[in-house]
Structure formats: structure tokens, C-alpha cells
């Protein structure tokens, strides 16, 4: 194998290893459960990182790495490629980290995805959201005040962020009364009419009567959250 091809394969292997580790961090820590990354539009960013860091970077190495070049010129060319590649990687990684979701907050009839920039971490009740600040998504319910203010009513009517961004109102999901969950969950007939939901339930050997489903208001696209009707434990998210 020529020195040029060796440089290409070395660059490709290092880039793929680095991105694989980062993708595992994104998929299994920051944006779990799947398809939360897709609902928040992060798949496009991760795809661009693959294009730049695994495809474009090594391809440029293959293009410019010529053994007949002077050593100083070759080092300068490779350093420029690596710097550009690391800059793109750092930018994409920073966006995915800073925009990571901290909570899936059940606000009556839907789950809102609450991102890190949306709230102040120090305001979070650690007894309710003990894992949220650094270790992925925490499922919580939002305790709706007995009397909503006029601004909160307008906020809900316009489907803009409201009480779900107030950590002091967060409560464990299991604290919600079963009758309230059943009241606001999607009707069984609507569940049975959705092909994606039916396929998911069949794959997990569940029926519509055994689960409670709520819309998930993702930033890029909607989803459906699945809870156990008996335990109120989250079972997963279905992409729509």
C-alpha cells in the first residue's frame, strides 16, 4: 500500500472512531430515548458532521497528501485539514450539547421537550429531576396551578412555551392521578387508527388498552409518548 493510501486510511479510521464515540454519547446519553434526536432536528446536524469529518476530511487527505511534497508543505496542508475538521466537529458537537433536551414535561394533554437553554439548571428541584442536568432526559409532569394567569392562558392557546418551563411546578410522573392521565390521553380509537402506533405496539407485544399515549411537541417534528397504563412508567416514543 502506498504512503498516500496509508495516510487516507489512518485519517479515516481516526475520524470514524472519534465520531462513533461522540454519536454514542449523543444517542445514548443526551438524546435518549430514540427518536428524540430526530424530533429535535439533531439528525441533520449529526449527518453533516459525518459528511465533514468522515467523508470530506479523509478525502482531502487523499487529495493533498503527496510524498513528493516538501515536509514543511505537507505538514502545513495536513494541519489545515485537521484544524478545519476539528472546527466543524466542535461546532456541531457544541450545538448538539447546548440544545440537548433535559425534560419531557407532561403539560396536561401533551409532552413538551424542554431544552437546556429553556430553563435555569439551578432552579430545578433536584429531588424531582436528579439526573436531568447532565445525564439525559427526565420524564416529569407539570402541576398546573389552580388558577392560571391571563398570560398563561394566552400562552397555552397560542401553543407557545408556558408552565412547562417552570421547574418549580415539576412533579414525578408517577404522582399524576391515573384518572387524570386517562382523561387527557389520546382516545383508544385514535390510537388504533395510527399505523405507526399499531406497528410499535405489535412489536412490543402491547395493546392500546395497556398503554396511555400523549403527543410529543418536538422542535422539528411531532411524536407520540407511550406510558404504561398500570405503572405510568415511560415505555418509549414513536416518531410521526
**How far is the C-alpha of 52 from the C-alpha of 106, rounded, in Å?**
37
Per the CB < 8 A criterion, the answer to whether 173 and 234 are in contact is yes
Q: What is the largest CA-CA distance in the chain?
A: 77
Predicted model pTM: 0.83
Question: Mean pLDDT, to the nearest integer, of 208-237?
Answer: 92
Closest-CA residue to 13 (of 5, 23, 24): 5
> How high is the mean pLDDT of the chain?
84
pLDDT at 17: 94
pLDDT at 212: 93
Q: How many CB atoms lie within 10 A of CB 12?
A: 17
Cell of 204: 412490543
**How far is the C-alpha of 102 from the C-alpha of 171, rounded, in Å?**
14
What does the domain layout of the chain look like in residue ranges?
Answer: 3-98, 101-174, 177-240
| pLDDT beyond 90 at 148 | no
pLDDT at 54: 87
Closest-CA residue to 232 (of 185, 162, 167): 185
Per the CB < 8 A criterion, the answer to whether 158 and 120 are in contact is no
pLDDT at 131: 43
Question: Mean pLDDT, to the nearest integer, of 97-123?
Answer: 86
Q: Which DSSP helix (H) or strand (E) runs through 215?
A: strand 211-217
Question: Mean pLDDT, to the nearest integer, of 43-48?
Answer: 93
| pLDDT beyond 80 at 20 | yes
SS3 content of the chain, % helix, strand, coil (to 5): 55, 15, 30
| pLDDT beyond 50 at 201 | yes
Amino acid at each position: 500500500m502506498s504512503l498516500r493510501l496509508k495516510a487516507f486510511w489512518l485519517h479515516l479510521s481516526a475520524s470514524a472512531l472519534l465520531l462513533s464515540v461522540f454519536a454514542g454519547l449523543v444517542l445514548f446519553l443526551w438524546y435518549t430515548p430514540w427518536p428524540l434526536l430526530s424530533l429535535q432536528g439533531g439528525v441533520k446536524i449529526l449527518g453533516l458532521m459525518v459528511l465533514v469529518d468522515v467523508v470530506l476530511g479523509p478525502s482531502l487527505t487523499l487529495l493533498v497528501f503527496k510524498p513528493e511534497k516538501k515536509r514543511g508543505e505537507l505538514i502545513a496542508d495536513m494541519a489545515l485539514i485537521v484544524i478545519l475538521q476539528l472546527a466543524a466537529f466542535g461546532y456541531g458537537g457544541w450545538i448538539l450539547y447546548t440544545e440537548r433536551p433535559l425534560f419531557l414535561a407532561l403539560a396536561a394533554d401533551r409532552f413538551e421537550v424542554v431544552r437546556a437553554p429553556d430553563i435555569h439548571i439551578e432552579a430545578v428541584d433536584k429531588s424531582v429531576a436528579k439526573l436531568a442536568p447532565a445525564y439525559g432526559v427526565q420524564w416529569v409532569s407539570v402541576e398546573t396551578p389552580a388558577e392560571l394567569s391571563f398570560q398563561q392562558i394566552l400562552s397555552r392557546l397560542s401553543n407557545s412555551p408556558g408552565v412547562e418551563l417552570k421547574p418549580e411546578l415539576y412533579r414525578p410522573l408517577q404522582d399524576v392521578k391515573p384518572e387524570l392521565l386517562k382523561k387527557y390521553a389520546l382516545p383508544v380509537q385514535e390510537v388504533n387508527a395510527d399505523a405507526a402506533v399499531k406497528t410499535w405496539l405489535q412489536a412490543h407485544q402491547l395493546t392500546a388498552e395497556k398503554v396511555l399515549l400523549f403527543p410529543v411537541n418536538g422542535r422539528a417534528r411531532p411524536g407520540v409518548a407511550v406510558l404504561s397504563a398500570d405503572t405510568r412508567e415511560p415505555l418509549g416514543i414513536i416518531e410521526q
